[in-house]
Amino acid sequence: MYLKKLTDELIVEILQIYEKTVGGHTFLIKIEGKNYSFQLTAEEAKKELKWLNVVERRYGSKLSMHSKLLIFREYVSRETVIYFQLYPNVDGFEKESDELARNFEVEIDRFLLDKKLAISLK
């Protein structure tokens, strides 16, 4: 998806997908009936991705409290695009961690396609 389309609402939805598929705790807070991300906002992600190729936040998973959500930056046709990935950060559970990462990727892809935000990096 294009970085410029990243909003706080999208981050919350992505973190909800993370919790549902990966486990862990994303520290979402509810204020006046609306969810907010305590650890990551769109503004913070955009600021960090100006200087870094990846933003990471440690939210844990079913396998490890050290698992991370990664947001990678790439350039496609002079546009900044981002993609989301799980870094399980656990040794000895390769099959399980690969499955978690794959499930997260499938759910994120489905979400971005449904929102008409998915783009091809090819």
pLDDT of residue 55: 96
pLDDT of residue 32: 78
**Domain chopping of the chain, boundaries:** 3-114
The more confident residue out of 83 and 26 is: 83
Confirm whether pTM is higher than 0.75: yes
pLDDT, the chain, mean: 90
Write out the chain in H/E/C secondary structure: CEHHHCCHHHHHHHHHHHHHHHCCCCCEEEECCEEEECCCCHHHHHHHHHHCCEEEEECCCCCCCCCEEEEEEEEECCEEEEEEEEECCCCCCHHHHHHHHHHHHHHHHHHHHHCCCCCCCC
pLDDT of residue 121: 58
The more confident residue out of 55 and 32 is: 55
